[in-house]
Structures are given as C-alpha cells and as structure tokens.
Amino acid sequence: MPAHLDPRLLRAFLAVADELHFTRAAARLFVAQQALSRDVRRLERELGAELFVRTTRQVTLTADGERLVPHARRALAAQDDLLAAFGQVRPLLVDVNSPGLGTGTRVLERARELARDHELMARYESGLTGAAAELLAGRLDASFGRYAGLDPVLRAGLDHQPVRYEPMAVILPEDHPLAALDRVPLGALAGTVVYAGAGNPRTPEWTDLAHRLFEDRDITVAAPAPLAVGHEEFRRIMAKTRTPVLAVVGFPAMPGSVLRPLTDPVPLSPVSLVWRRGLVHPGIDALRRAAAEIAEAEDWLRPPAGGWIPASDKVTMRLHN
C-alpha cells in the first residue's frame, strides 16, 4: 500500500466509476482517454487491486472497485473540507455569458450577498457549449444556458438546476419597419433571415433553438458569419447588413438598434445553472439558493400561457424541477 495517493488518481477512478465508460469519463474530466486509462492503471498498481473489468462492450466495477468508491468520495470531500477550514477556498469562477446579460448576472449578484465571505468572480464565455469545455477542464466552475442543447458527451460530466424560461426577443435596426412595434409577432418575421449565431462553435445550443423555433414559420437562420465583437462592431455590422438578431429580453442595449419581445406565441429560452458534476464549493451552494429564490419570487419557472418551448427542453427542465 503506498504512503500517499495522488487525489487526481482518485478523481479519475470516480469519473470512470460514475460513467462506466472511459470515453465519457475522459470527456467529463476534459483529458485524453489514454491519460485517463494510464491514471486508472497507476491507481490499480499502487493499490494492488483490479478496480474495473474491461471488455470491448462494457466497463464494470470489480468488488474492490465497489469497495473503493465510498472511500474515494470521502477522501476527496475531506480534502475540500480541510482547505476550506484553513481559509483556502478558492474563488468561484462564474460565467454569465456576456456583460449586462440579465439572468446570470442577477443570480450572481444575489449569490454574492448570500456568500459574503467567499469570492465569486464573473467570466464571459458567450455560449454554454464553449463554457462547458471550460467547466469540464476545471478552468470555470458554473455557467448559465440551455442545458438540453448541449452534446450528451458534455452533459455527462455536468449537473444543472433549472432557473428560468426567459422570453425571447429580436434586435432590429432603429429604422427597421418592425422597430415601431412594442412587440413583434413571429409571423411578422416570415420571409426574413435572422442571425442566431450559426457557425459560432461556442453557441450551437442557441442556433439549434432558433432552428426549432423558425421551423414551419418561413423564417431562415442566417448563414455562418464571423461574430461581431464589441458594441461599435455590432453597430457597424447591423447598419450594413440590417439582419435582425435573435436574443432574449434581458439582452443589454446595443447602439443603433432596438430590442423587441417576440409574441404569438411567446418563445422561451430555457436557462439552467450548470456546474461540473461533483464540485463542492460554498459558492455553488449560494448560486443554487440564489437561483431558487429569484425563480420563486418572480415566477421564472412558470411559462406564460401559450408560450413556446422545445419538447426536449420541457422534459429536461421538468425532470430537474
């Protein structure tokens, strides 16, 4: 029996024990499958025990593997508790997508009030798919977005808590004919092209939501184009292309444009708080409590009558609600 076990080896073991699949476990930890297999083999050598039975079709825990699971969980939890006891809880890195975006920013602000002794720092990853890779790599701790739109391989290493059905909107040039309306019926966009992030590798879950919304409504998702970065570049591209942009009602004001809620039906963007599975941190507890408080106080999880939500998202949000 070794005098010391590297906690990384225990995390590798637990990831495989949870997934019973080396490829999914590697994706969850954001490491190469070969590196994960190497860590598991090293742990087996150090313990002098076979932990998994591996075949071409499946991975199963041995009796020794089953016996190790609770000990490994307690060991890693004890390490986190020890660091916390000596004031070494690191800052929690929270992606709110972009500066000024409503849902994530509000939850983060309330969580800071609930966890005044801890540091919760904002990050801006601009898309849940992009943020998910950072979550799994341990370079980010929490994010907000459409969980059901993530690739299943990414979801396997993440957990989520439904936060809000956020009404969707459209950004229009100030002199666009529809800009005179207080609300824009979806039918008024028939025959038009709307930008929804197509081609942006960080936001495919948003583009997928747009395709589902526009299907059978004669609205086309704009072809892939480079992302306009910064307010001035957004203003210039909007003035040049005059292409409406799909957004949410909490999207911050942009120069040279107006934001108008969509209606008939009211399309809803399902937003979840998302974090790395197994993460223990007082900041995560504060974020979850803050999200639940605001959602209850403002009926964030009560869809309006006639609201539109993809069927897949309804199932995901309901199962975790």
The per-residue pLDDT for range 95-123, each reduced to its tens digit, is 998 877 789 999 999 999 999 988 999 99
Provide the pLDDT for residue 30. 56
Provide the pLDDT for residue 43. 94
User: CA-to-CA distance for 20 and 165, rounded, in angstroms?
Assistant: 33
Helix/strand/coil for 52? strand
| Residues of the chain with confidence (pLDDT) below 70 | 1-3, 28-31, 80, 83-89, 318-321
**What domains can you pick out in the chain, each with its CATH number?**
7-85 (1.10.10.10), 92-165+269-319 (3.40.190.10), 167-263 (3.40.190.10)
Encoding tokens for residue 279? 């993460």
Provide the pLDDT for residue 318. 66
Provide the pLDDT for residue 320. 47
**Residue 230 neighbours by CB under 8 Å, 6+ apart:** none
160-216 pLDDT, tens digit per residue, is 999 999 999 999 999 899 999 999 999 999 999 999 999 999 999 999 999 999 999
Task: Count other Cβ atoms within 10 Å, centred on residue 100.
Answer: 12
Encoding tokens for residue 166? 């956020």
Provide the pLDDT for residue 252. 81
Provide the pLDDT for residue 110. 95
Is 52:59 a contact under the CB 8 Å cutoff?
Answer: yes
